[in-house]
Amino acid sequence: MLYRFIDLFAGIGGIRTAFEPYGECVFSCEWDVKAQETYEANFGHKPVGDIRTVNEKEIPDHDILLAGFPCQPFSIAGVSKKKSLGRKHGFLDETQGTLFFDIARIIKEKQPQAFLLENVKNLRSHDKGNTFKVIKKVLEDLGYTVYSEVINARGLVPQNRERIYIVGFKKPLKFEFPIIPKEGPPLHTILEENVEEKYTLSDKLWNYLQAYKEKHAKKGNGFGYGLADLNSYSRTLSARYYKDGSEILIPQGEGKNPRKLTPRECARLQGFPDSFKIVVSNTAAYKQFGNSVAVPVVSLIAERVVQAIERDELLEEKLEEGRTCDKIIRSV
């Protein structure tokens, strides 16, 4: 069976790439203009812009909602006060003004069979846990059985990258997240053979980064550049990589300064195929891949989501903590 899905906060389409084997994307939304360019070059259509202006009633019907949404602060602290004043409260009020609100209103209107949301690991602890508490409550109040897990991608790509994945089903379906290997491919497997000299750090920048690290080391801080072990995995690729590449530097042997990853290597580090088109400037590409998901992780989750829908096995008992199942895979 093929499934209709929508791609919200789509970025450059990493989550979509993972779900494409299972169906058709019928709607996408992404506000960043440069990301829209990359998305259109690879998928043949330009995403809608600001999700806040999208009428949920006009979104096509779909089976699965996908969203790599930004984390914004909100709290349920004001609910009791609103009750005392006789004012309405609920998911619309609790999340108003946040981008998660837009996901909630679309889910409420379209009632997809399932959803997958992705965010930074720290979503769990943000605002002393209140942010995640609201998110779970909202999704459960909308009638969904919710599972969440923090997964490290480094067993599939050579990068230490922890993200939280939230899966929900309209039916109380049995679901288990995939087991990710602890050890994955080494960093040297994603490197290009011939790299232009422009990616090598200048003497000025390299001297600055070394001095900066030394200064903080004397204070007992771990700030500074990261010289990667080519036989292991890298630090987390971030959207700021375009600035100086300091979190992941590639050694080039004695007498030569280290270099930055190329945009294509960043794409590989996130698990994108080499057929994925990079049509923007290096600066924009670094930001886009730094903000993206690790595609192989989402691919395994996508497979499990589809399997759960097709098996249609219902939970026999209520899950602990309402209808939510949480699990954390910690770094080792």
Instruction: Specify whether 266 is catalytic.
Output: no
> Burial level of 11, CB count in 10 A (0-12/13-18/19+)?
buried
Instruction: Tell me the backbone φ, ψ of residue 157, rounded to 5 degrees.
Output: -130, 155
Q: Cα dihedral sign for 158, 163, 169, 175?
A: positive
Structure tokens at 96: 């108003």
Indicate the DSSP class of residue 43: H
Structure tokens at 179: 């087991």
Give the separation between CA 17 and CA 28, rounded to whole angstroms: 13
| Set 29, 71, 266, 325: catalytic member | 71
Close Cβ partners of 297 (under 8 Å, ≥ 6 residues apart): 151, 153, 156, 163, 165, 180, 271
User: Which amino acid type is present at position 138?
Assistant: V
Q: Which residues are catalytic?
A: 71
